[in-house]
Amino acid sequence: MLATLTIKNYALIDHLQVVFSEGFTTITGETGAGKSILLGGLSLVLGKRADLSSIKNSDEKCVIEASFKIENYNLESFFKASDLDFEKQTIIRREILPSGKSRAFINDTPVTLDVLTELGVQLIDIHSQHQTLQLTDNAFQFKVIDAVASNQKVLETYESELAVYHNIKRELKKLIDFQQEADKEYDYNSFLLQELQAANLKEGMLEELEATYEKLNNVEEIAENISHSQQILGEEQIGILSGLNELKTIFNKLSHFGNAYKELYSRVQSALIEMDDIHVEIQRMEEGLEADPQQLEETNNKLQIIYSLQKKHHVLEISELLAVQEELAEKVSKTESLESNIKQFQLKLLEQEKQLDTLATKLHKNREKAVPALKKHLENVLSFLGMPNAQFKIELNPTSKYFSNGKDELHFLFSANKGGSFNELRKVASGGELSRIMLAIKSLLAQYMHLPTIMFDEIDTGVSGEISNKMGEIMQQMSSSMQVFTITHLPQVAAKGDVQFKVFKEDKKGVTSSQMKELSTEERVQEIAEMLGGKDVSNAAKMHAKELLVQKK
């Protein structure tokens, strides 16, 4: 429950600190006194987005702090999951700095707005006049039925499985889209791949072929030079080998005259051995050298294929062509395996649909069981609130579509008059009727959702007299199991509160500010009397106010 609320430098509030109690609290005050400011401040501390314009004095920060008694509401798991210290009396603080930045704290630990909002919805349900319009919203209607049907855990599982389902669908669509594009390129890619594979490309192949081509293409010139080199080396009289042999003989004779001659002998002998080996190698070349037009043509054809492939793929090296070949092979392989992958994802999708269908069926059955109880509760409460002929027709129609909360379509139809036709709430219910319906729903949700606190902002708009008295009774009944606040302009409702606060404006030194105070019994009589008859309070109005206060007991 909300224990205290402190507001500093917010809108028309300089500094306000209020202590609240359990049970039913009513809040009254003239229009414009600042009741909406109070709600705005409370909304900020529960995670609403901050607005710099809400700071009263732009040179100072705005601070809103609320303390909650939470020991009986099973929130320990939330605090543990959020890495927060659990305190039986938890303090939430929100600060808006003059720069426009805001900070949030739970038990003095900084938190994000998402964490603050997540905790806030578990602490207080603030019902605004705008929220009454949610009655006509299909999502809110489902929320009501699912609360009565105790569908929360099934819904959580369904939502989780639905996320998996949508993920599989996305992946399947990607594969199908890729297949459509890949099919267009498959034939072309296959052709390019076959071209490259037919070339039997290997590292170093180009250099080897170019060397072979140069040899075959210049065989006559090579043969002529080889023959000439043979002559230079092997000519019997003046050849290099003959000269070296003569040198060898000379230095062999001189070698016993000293080491220098002996060393020259060794060097000449080594040169002779090397030149003799060269001579043999040249002879072998000469013997193997012959014109081969067929091999020349084959080599040239291979080279032209490689040159053509290099030009086509805009590369210079064989290694680059091999990389292109590998990439094309991967694309072709991926395209060829797409059909298999698509079938696998289609099977996954079918399995996921089976799981969703099972969960959706469970949701539907639970809802069907809950509808009679919901219908009966609403009609009984509305009868108590002066609408004895109000009837609901709640239709649940299974569909083949997967919605965010199952596969049902919901028609929440209403008729206010006996014999009247059923239609959507937004078409047939007046503002006062919507207020009464919303109160009936909130009184039911309070039983199932176990919220610590609920705050009504003028939910009694559009009603008066005895009906407002009965609306007060319902809120009073709700307060036996939870903390209930209501902001009201109706004396009958205000008098039902265990405690009554008044919001008012006061001027100090030419500055207007909003204040809030708890009323004593005498002050309540005066306030309710003014609500009944205006500022000029008559004795009759006072007597009536006293009667209303007595009746609440």
290-307 tens-digit pLDDT: 766 787 788 778 888 888
- Above 70 in pLDDT, residue 526? yes
- Per-residue pLDDT, averaged over 47-63, amounts to 83
Q: Which of 542, 546, 547, 543 is nearest to 529 (CA)?
A: 542
- Above 70 in pLDDT, residue 276? yes
- Above 60 in pLDDT, residue 553? no
Place of tokens 């009746």: 551
Integer angstrom CA distances of residue 405 from 36, 130, 165, 181, 387: 34, 24, 14, 35, 32
Convert the pLDDT of each residue in 444-475 to its tens digit.
Answer: 888 787 778 999 988 887 787 788 889 999 99
Convert the pLDDT of each residue in 222-274 to its tens digit.
Answer: 777 777 787 777 676 667 878 888 788 888 888 888 888 888 889 988 988 88
Q: Which of 35, 37, 8, 3 is nearest to 19 (CA)?
A: 3
Distance in angstroms (rounded) separating the CA atoms of residues 537 and 528 = 10
Domains of the chain: 1-123+451-519 (3.40.50.300), 178-337 (no CATH)
Integer Rg of the chain from CA: 48
Start-to-end CA distance of the chain, whole Å, equals 23
Q: Which of 7, 6, 28 is nearest to 499 (CA)?
A: 28
Neighbour-count burial of 359, counting CB atoms closer than 10 A to its CB (0-12 exposed, 13-18 middle, 19+ buried):
buried
How much is the pLDDT for 288? 64
How much is the pLDDT for 108? 93
How much is the pLDDT for 487? 92
Mean pLDDT of the chain: 86
How much is the pLDDT for 442? 87
- Above 80 in pLDDT, residue 349? yes
- Per-residue pLDDT, averaged over 110-134, amounts to 84
- Per-residue pLDDT, averaged over 334-363, amounts to 89
Convert the pLDDT of each residue in 125-136 to its tens digit.
Answer: 888 766 666 777
Please indicate, yes or no, whether the overall pTM of this predicted structure exceeds 0.75: no
Torsion sign (Cα): 50, 56, 60, 62: negative
> What band does 88 get if pLDDT is binned at 50, 70 and 90?
very high
Residue 338 falls in which region: left (phi positive, over 0), alpha (psi -120 to 50) or beta: alpha
Exposure string for 103-131, b = 16+ CB within 10 A, e = fewer: ebebeeeebebebbeebbebbbbbbbbeb
Torsion sign (Cα): 123, 129, 130, 135: positive
Distance in angstroms (rounded) separating the CA atoms of residues 422 and 392 = 8
**Residues 402, 164 contacting (CB under 8 angstroms):** no
How much is the pLDDT for 536? 84
Integer angstrom CA distances of residue 355 from 165, 352, 358, 410: 10, 5, 5, 22
Distance in angstroms (rounded) separating the CA atoms of residues 530 and 545 = 9
Highest mean pLDDT among 46-50, 397-401, 508-512: 397-401
How much is the pLDDT for 502? 94
Place of tokens 């001189």: 254
